[in-house]
A and B are shown apart, each in its own frame.
Chain A
Amino acid sequence: DADVTQTPRNRITKTGKRIMLECSQTKGHDRMYWYRQDPGLGLRLIYYSFDVKDINKGEISDGYSVSRQAQAKFSLSLESAIPNQTALYFCATSGPGRETQYFGPGTRLLVL
């Protein structure tokens, strides 16, 4: 089984809808991250969490929110989706005090 899983893998939604992307990990890591990938723009950090009670904004947090339900689960929500949030979304994890990140397979989101 994969160490970092993301659900759904693909999602099509309409403008104004609320959607949630979920991430689970079995690596036992305390740190989790959400990134957005757009062509030519690389990986941009949306939110990150160093433990269950810790949530931090990244470079592009506007329009997004997160929830760290447990050490192993970190969800990303789009409260009211808009077309320019169409992108590939990745979850990643890292161990305590460790910079190396391990990525999930990604969720491809299309907002119509």
Chain B
Amino acid sequence: GENVEQHPSTLSVQEGDSAVIKCTYSDSASNYFPWYKQELGKGPQLIIDIRSNVGEKKDQRIAVTLNKTAKHFSLHITETQPEDSAVYFCAASPGGNTPLVFGKGTRLSVIA
């Protein structure tokens, strides 16, 4: 089955700097890669996703890149703000009836 590795487990950045979180997956059939943000006391919320027919996707200050050959994908947050502080999860799925497999999460702290 699919296995998703996520790094780093914790990340601290200064406000205004960029943050990058990386994930690798094992199943070459995986074709859907979402990123979730979990704020304190809340459930994870989808912030951006990408499918395997696309190499990069942007939404304002966040972007996701996908390298199918290397089987890794990354979340990029530019101009970080204190409200970006949260736990971020990556996930992968081969689609169809296979549920998402999540990475172990990255705790991002943005220091003002």
Among residues of A, the one whose C-beta sits closest to the C-beta of B34 is A100
Rounded to whole angstroms, the CA-CA distance of A105 and B41 in the bound complex is 7
How near does chain B come to A1, taking the closest CB pair, in angstroms?
A: 15
- With an 8 A cutoff between CB atoms, is B42 at the interface? yes
- With an 8 A cutoff between CB atoms, is A28 at the interface? no
Please tell me the number of chain A residues within 8 Å of chain B, measured between CB atoms. Answer: 22
Chain B: interface size category: 20 to 34
Q: Is the CB of B104 within 8 A of A103?
A: no
How near does chain A come to B7, taking the closest CB pair, in angstroms?
A: 13
How near does chain B come to A9, taking the closest CB pair, in angstroms?
A: 10
Q: Is the CB of A43 within 8 A of B99?
A: no
Q: Is the CB of A101 within 8 A of B100?
A: yes
Residues of B within 8 A of A44 (CB): 102
Q: Is the CB of A43 within 8 A of B44?
A: yes
- Chain B residues engaging chain A, CB cutoff 8 angstroms: 6, 9, 32, 34, 36, 41-46, 49, 89, 93, 95-97, 99-100, 102-105
